[in-house]
Amino acid sequence: MIKFLLKGILRDRSRSLLPIIVVSIGVFLTIVMSAWMKGIFTDMIDMNANFTTGHVKIMTRAYAENSNQMPLDLALLGIDELKQNLEKDYPDMEWVSRINFGGLLDVPDKNGETRAQGPAACKAIDFFHNPKEIERMNISKSLVKGSIPKKPGEAIISDEFAEKFGVKLGEDVTLFGSTMNGSMLFKTFTVCGTIRFGMTMLDRGAILMDISDAQLALDMENGSTEILGYFNDGNYDKLKVEEVTNTFNSKYSKENDEFSPQMHKLEEQSGLGDYLAMADGMIGMMITFFVIAMSIVLWNTGLLGGLRRYTEYGIRLALGEEKKHIYKTMIYEAILIGIIGSVLGTILGLGMAYYLQEVGLDFSEMTKNISMMMPPIYRATIFPDLFYIGFIPGLIAMVSGNALAGLTIYKRKTSQLFKELEV
Amino acid sequence: MKNILISLFTFLFLGSLSAQNANKIIEKVDANMSSKNRIVESSMIIHGKRNSRTITSLSYSVGDKKSFTEYLSPARERGTKMLKLEDKLWIYSPSTDRIIQISGHMLRQSLMGSDLSYEDMMDDRKLTEVYTAKVVGEENIDGRKCYILELKAKVVDVAYYSQKIWIDQEYFVPLKEDLFAKSGKLLKQTTFSNVKKVQGRWYPTKMVYKDMLKQGNGTEFIVNSMKFNQEIQEYIFTKAALKQ
């Protein structure tokens, strides 16, 4: 019967073309939107993980309570020993220490007095020994001029700052602020590069230096404001994170010691948990929306088809075919059309999603005044679910539409068939 | 009607009397606390969350417009100098041999990790120039009878919009200060003690500052020696003196 129905669908295009087109469009939109939304959420979460939260982050309990103020005096100390223990306890993760702090970046004139200055968001990472950190923060690709710091005393500053105040490569800038103990921080760096991350928050006045320079300048020997943990495979695994966090905190974090380390999951930081839940919720909502919307459209298409094929069903009933059989063939036909439309829509959708994954859409102009950490180019992400996700609205909507429309067959009365057929 | 008018006039009369009294009180406070010039050697003990540090410094100031401070110890701070001229502030760091001008929001940052900001250190104006005062009550602090005054800013460029200040009724020096933002939020609390007579004027030689927005146990400021109305050479208040 399937073969017979398939022949019917292929030969009588007037009965199959419109439903296939409608299903394909619906599936195409479901896939593209799902991939794009997943891409946006994944990008934002990855960016936050790479720049600020890690897959997990360790801070002192006191620092964590006031982390938005970046209180250097509450930083972690004895990090070398702690990192050694972490590497031993969790060998499938990489542990990196970073220091974030605020200050004032001051550009001297020829007399050593202030020529220009602006607020600085300072980030110290392990430039000299950990190339993964450079890659993780996309520093090489974001460099506008110069190179990454190769020796102590070198720093990269924001290109926007350099352009605004006419700072050239090789010139000195002084960082002014407070050390971990509250002493005045005066540290002069030679500008070895300028950078543009494409994120307004960082591009306004970032300065990046090696962590050893920052430790020295901030009186923070063997200390850092945070230790970030990343899974070696790069994937954020909620179950693993839960396990790592629980075991670490029960071993190292002490409630009565505010300077004891405490591990925080990605989703516990910067409201990212809500964000992850929102991402899942929105993708689910979108699929539901498409199923409902397409069911209505396809029900309508089924009704139109039913009306158009009113005579055909009448003749088939007159010839003695059972109503149940006609209804069954109609549903099988809908399944076949649903499958064809879904396959077509999935192929087209995946193609478009791939394009958006590789090229993306540039929203940097629209987001330039937003201080939240957001990617400048929004890209889609192809994920395994996309290969079947389109079949849910494609098949369900088509079959339910036809099933509803097909119920009219049962309302036909054989006694009136010939009158209806005007025989 | 007659009673209402009597009450109204009494209220206005008492209000005006309170303002007059308050103005006289803060004039007397200004007479003690402000001077033509002064030289102060002080110790600042900063009680942080992890440790405490003591910083000693020598300050020269003329009125509320010029001041020069040299930090004497510890070694990390020795040789650091600060110069204030009008509303400008420069800091010299011997380690980098740089003079940095501090302005804008940086002035609200903590001075050497203490509970004082650069702005606090810079603003040395007389209370009568900046605030209007009202007596709101009396209270005893450490056995000393005090007037309680409420001060409201009458100028725009002020770090604290209002203050509640406890003034010793005998010495006319403040014994306690609550400093508020315009929103009414308590920003800082200061207590004054060890009131001594220096060159005919009463002066509290120990102050404890507590930044209410900051963790930690406050900052003690102790005046080790103080001289009023001295001969201070003008070159001290120049940028050239910073590098010397």
- Domains of chain B, earliest start first: 1-244 (2.50.20.10)
* Number of domains present in the structure of chain A: 2
Residue A231 sits in the same domain as residue A292: no
Across the interface, do B49 and A73 touch by the CB < 8 Å criterion? yes
Which phi and psi (to 5°) does residue A78 adopt?
70, 40
Percent of chain A with pLDDT over 90: 40
A416 CB near a chain B CB, below 8 Å?
A: no
If contacts are CB pairs under 8 Å, which of residues 87-126 in chain A contact chain B? 104, 106, 108, 112-114, 117, 119
- Residue B179: DSSP 8-state: E
Q: What pLDDT, in 10s, does the model give residues B83-118? A: 998 888 999 999 889 999 987 777 888 888 899 988
Cβ-based neighbours of A136, under 8 Å, separated by 6 or more: A50, A230
| Nearest residue in B to A106, CA atom | B100
Three-state DSSP class for residue A351: helix
**Average pLDDT of the segment spanning A374-396:** 80
Which phi and psi (to 5°) does residue A225 adopt?
-75, -25
pLDDT of the residue at A169: 95
Q: What pLDDT, in 10s, does the model give residues A202-243? A: 787 889 999 999 999 999 999 999 999 999 988 888 899 999
Across the interface, do B100 and A71 touch by the CB < 8 Å criterion? no
Q: What pLDDT, in 10s, does the model give residues A240-278? A: 999 999 999 999 999 999 999 999 998 777 666 777 777
Q: Which residues of A touch B106 (CB under 8 A)?
A: 104, 119, 176
**In whole numbers, what is the pLDDT of chain A averaged over residues?**
85
Q: Which of A214, A235, A256 is the last residue before a domain boundary?
A: A235
Residue A107 sits in the same domain as residue A195: yes
C-alpha A259/C-alpha A336 separation (Å) is 65
Q: pLDDT band at residue A146, thresholds of 50, 70 and 90? A: very high
pLDDT of the residue at B238: 92
Q: What pLDDT, in 10s, does the model give residues A55-98? A: 999 999 999 988 888 889 999 999 999 999 999 999 999 999 99
Q: Which residues of A touch B112 (CB under 8 A)?
A: 178, 182-184
pLDDT of the residue at B105: 73
ipTM confidence score = 0.77
Higher pLDDT, A53 or A414: A53
Residue A164 sits in the same domain as residue A229: yes
User: And the tokens for A287?
Assistant: 């699929």
A212 CB near a chain B CB, below 8 Å?
A: no
C-alpha B244/C-alpha B240 separation (Å) is 7
Q: Is residue A86 part of a domain?
A: yes
Strand partners, B145: B140
The answer to whether B102 and B118 have CB atoms below 8 angstroms apart is: yes
For the packed helices A323-358 and A13-48, what is the interaxial angle rounded to 10 degrees? 40
User: And the tokens for A370?
Assistant: 């937003």
Q: pLDDT band at residue A181, thresholds of 50, 70 and 90? A: confident
Higher pLDDT, A362 or A159: A159
Structure pTM? 0.73
Q: Is residue A215 part of a domain?
A: yes
Residue A120 sits in the same domain as residue A11: no
Across the interface, do A183 and B112 touch by the CB < 8 Å criterion? yes
Q: Which of B53, B100, B216 sits opposite A106 (nearest CB)?
A: B100
C-alpha B110/C-alpha B107 separation (Å) is 8
- Residue B110: DSSP 8-state: B
Q: Is residue A265 part of a domain?
A: no
Neighbours of A127 (CB within 10 A): 23
Across the interface, do A178 and B114 touch by the CB < 8 Å criterion? no
**Average pLDDT of the segment spanning A165-171:** 93
Highest mean pLDDT among A405-419, B49-63, B112-126, B173-187: B173-187
Q: Which of B51, B98, B102 sits opposite A108 (nearest CB)?
A: B98
Residue A80 sits in the same domain as residue A229: yes
Across the interface, do A104 and B102 touch by the CB < 8 Å criterion? yes
User: And the tokens for A28?
Assistant: 């195409």
User: And the tokens for A314?
Assistant: 């009448």
Q: Which residues of A touch B103 (CB under 8 A)?
A: 117
* Residue whose entry in the numeric block shows the structure tokens 């900046």: B130
Continuous segment of H or E residues that includes residue A358 = helix A323-358
Q: Which residues of B touch A184 (CB under 8 A)?
A: 77, 80, 91, 93, 112
If contacts are CB pairs under 8 Å, which of residues 75-104 in chain B contact chain A? 76-77, 80, 91, 93, 95-103
Indicate the Cα dihedral angle A172, A177, A180, A181, nearest 10°.
Answer: 120
| Nearest residue in A to B54, CA atom | A183
Across the interface, do B101 and A117 touch by the CB < 8 Å criterion? yes
| Nearest residue in A to B50, CA atom | A73
Residue A65 sits in the same domain as residue A30: no
Three-state DSSP class for residue B196: strand
pLDDT of the residue at A221: 94
H helix count then E strand count, chain B: 4, 13
Strands A114-125 and A206-210: parallel
Strands A154-158 and A184-195: parallel
pLDDT of the residue at B14: 47
Picking from A161-175, A280-294, B125-139, which range would have the lowest pLDDT averaged per residue? A280-294
The amino acid that residue B237 corresponds to is F
- Per the structure, the complete domain to which residue A330 belongs is given by 2-47+274-420
Q: Is residue A78 part of a domain?
A: yes
**In whole numbers, what is the pLDDT of chain B averaged over residues?**
88
Q: Is residue A254 part of a domain?
A: no
B114 CB near a chain A CB, below 8 Å?
A: yes
Across the interface, do A117 and B100 touch by the CB < 8 Å criterion? yes
Q: Which of A114, A184, A258 sits opposite B93 (nearest CB)?
A: A184
Rg (CA), chain A: 31
Q: Is residue A66 part of a domain?
A: yes
Q: What pLDDT, in 10s, does the model give residues B181-215? A: 999 999 999 999 999 999 999 999 999 999 998 87
Q: What pLDDT, in 10s, does the model give residues A12-28? A: 777 778 888 888 888 89
Residue A41 sits in the same domain as residue A63: no
Q: Is residue A144 part of a domain?
A: yes
Q: Which of A235, A260, A293 is the last residue before a domain boundary?
A: A235
C-alpha A218/C-alpha A101 separation (Å) is 10
User: Which of B85, B96, B99 has the most A C-beta neighbours within 10 Å, making it the best mutation to test the interface with A?
Assistant: B96
Across the interface, do B101 and A112 touch by the CB < 8 Å criterion? no
Asked if the model's pLDDT at residue A123 lies above 90, the reply is yes
Taking the CA of residue B96 and the nearest CA in chain A, the distance in Å comes to 7
Residue A42 sits in the same domain as residue A60: no
Strand partners, B140: B145
State the burial class of residue A31 (Cβ atoms within 10 Å of its Cβ: 0-12, 13-18, 19+).
buried
Q: What pLDDT, in 10s, does the model give residues A289-310? A: 776 777 677 667 766 766 677 7
Provide the sign of the torsion angle of the four alpha carbons B20, B22, B28, B33, taken in this order: negative
Residue A160 sits in the same domain as residue A201: yes
Residue A134 sits in the same domain as residue A189: yes
The answer to whether A346 and A390 have CB atoms below 8 angstroms apart is: yes
Q: Which of B4, B30, B236 minimizes the C-alpha distance to B130?
A: B30
The answer to whether A266 and A45 have CB atoms below 8 angstroms apart is: yes
Q: pLDDT band at residue A394, thresholds of 50, 70 and 90? A: confident
Q: Which of A172, A206, A235 is the last residue before a domain boundary?
A: A235
C-alpha A361/C-alpha A377 separation (Å) is 5
Residue A70 sits in the same domain as residue A26: no
The answer to whether B135 and B147 have CB atoms below 8 angstroms apart is: yes
Q: pLDDT band at residue B13, thresholds of 50, 70 and 90? A: very low
The amino acid that residue B188 corresponds to is K
Residue A86 sits in the same domain as residue A20: no
pLDDT of the residue at B243: 86
Q: Which of B119, B125, B121 minimizes the C-alpha distance to B29?
A: B125
Q: Is residue A266 part of a domain?
A: no
Q: pLDDT band at residue B72, thresholds of 50, 70 and 90? A: very high
